[in-house]
């Protein structure tokens, strides 16, 4: 039922009530006119008040109807006219369809929003996992950095050790080369001394060959091959670096010679005093030159008897 139909039904009801009221009034007028009149008047006032109320309600409904038509026309629903209920119903149906479409659109939007929220939650979870992986990677990088620092330190220590070993090896090589040079120098010096001793021996043999058998008389060398130096020279008396600890005894003879750039055989001495560490000798026979400190003494000369 439309609004207009409702209004007409309401007016019919009011008219019926009015007619009924008049009938009652007529009845009461015939019986109790005064009381009936007062009663009917009171009822009439009530009905009048109710009629005014319903009229106000009808005006409000009419105004709301006009406002509804205007709103529907503004919302895009065409063909609405206040005096055509069927068209109003059609327009209302179209409005309901439009509202349903809008409701469907709203539902789709809600679904899309819910999907977006779900995606956002998934994205947040993925970001959290990525952050955890990043933290783990940073921890691994820190561990690798620490290991690298330890390895660098170890490598530096080993490098320092290698450098120290290299320096020591170089020092040892230099020392070996120096020792080889010293060995060669000593060998050369030994060869030179042997050559000088041979020259002295030849000179001794030459002197002895010139002196004959008499020169060999009085020769008493130590049984062991001894060799020492002259510590002090005083004329025909000399102090030598050999003593009884070396096996030297009194009465034994030693040969005196000089080495150097001009090696010479000087002569022979006889031991006259012996102590454990040194002895005193006296020249026997003719000396080729005076004996000096650092001259050499020996049991025999290489190549000699």
DSSP string, 27-39: HHHHHSHHHHHHH
Q: Which of 52, 74, 96 is where one domain is finished?
A: 74
Q: Which of 15-24, 68-77, 204-213, 226-235 is predicted most confidently?
A: 226-235
Q: Is residue 85 included in any domain, yes or no?
A: no
Range of the domain at 246: 218-298
Angle at which helices 33-74 and 85-211 cross, to 10°: 40
Domain termination site, one of 42, 74, 106: 74
Whether 208 and 216 have beta carbons less than 8 Å apart is answered as yes
Q: Does any domain span residue 227?
A: yes
Please tell me the distance from the alpha carbon of residue 288 to that of residue 299, in angstroms, as a whole number: 18
Cα 91 to chain centroid distance, Å, stands at: 79
Q: What angle is formed at CA 271 by the lines to CA 270 and CA 274, rounded to 5 degrees? A: 175
Query: Which pLDDT band holds residue 225 (cuts at 50, 70, 90)?
Result: confident
- Which helix (H) or strand (E) segment is 258 a member of? strand 253-258
- Domain end position, chosen among 46, 74, 102: 74
Q: What is the reported pLDDT for 292? A: 92
Cα angle: 287, vertex 265, 190; to 5 degrees: 155
Number of structural domains in the chain = 2
Q: Is 151 within the bounds of a domain?
A: no
269 in a structural domain: yes
State the pLDDT confidence band at 211, using cuts at 50, 70 and 90: very low
CA-based nearest residue to 254, from 265, 242, 268, 266: 268
Q: How far apart are CA 207 and CA 37, in angstroms?
A: 203
Q: Cβ distance 280 to 237 under 8 Å?
A: yes
């Amino acid at each position: 039922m439309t609004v207009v139909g409702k209004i007409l039904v309401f007016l019919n009801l009011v008219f019926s009530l009015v007619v009924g009221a008049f009938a009652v009034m007529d009845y009461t007028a015939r019986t109790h006119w005064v009381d009936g009149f007062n009663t009917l008047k009171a009822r009439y006032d009530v009905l009048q008040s109710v009629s005014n109320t319903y009229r106000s309600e009808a005006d409000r409904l009419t105004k709301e109807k006009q406002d509804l038509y205007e709103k529907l026309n503004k919302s895009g629903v065409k063909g609405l006219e206040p005096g055509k209920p069927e068209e109003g119903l059609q327009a209302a149906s179209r409005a309901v369809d439009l509202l349903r479409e809008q409701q469907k659109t709203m539902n789709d939007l809600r679904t899309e929003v819910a999907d977006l929220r779900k995606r956002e939650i998934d994205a947040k979870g993925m970001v959290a996992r990525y952050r955890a992986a990043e933290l783990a990677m940073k921890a691994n990088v820190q561990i690798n950095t620490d290991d690298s620092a330890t390895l660098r330190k170890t490598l530096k220590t080993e490098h320092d050790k290698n450098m120290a070993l290299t320096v020591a090896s170089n020092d040892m090589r230099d020392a070996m080369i120096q020792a080889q040079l010293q060995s060669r120098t000593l060998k050369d010096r030994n060869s030179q001394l042997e050559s000088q001793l041979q020259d002295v021996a030849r000179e001794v043999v030459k002197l002895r060959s010139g002196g004959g058998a008499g020169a060999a008389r009085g020769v008493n060398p130590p049984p062991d091959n001894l060799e020492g130096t002259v510590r002090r020279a005083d004329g025909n008396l000399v102090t030598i670096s050999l003593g009884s600890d070396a096996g030297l005894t009194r009465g034994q003879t030693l040969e005196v010679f000089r080495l150097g750039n001009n090696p010479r055989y000087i002569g022979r001495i006889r031991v006259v005093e012996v102590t454990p560490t040194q002895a005193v000798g006296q020249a026997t026979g003719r000396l080729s030159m005076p004996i000096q400190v650092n001259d050499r003494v020996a049991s025999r000369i290489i190549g000699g008897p």
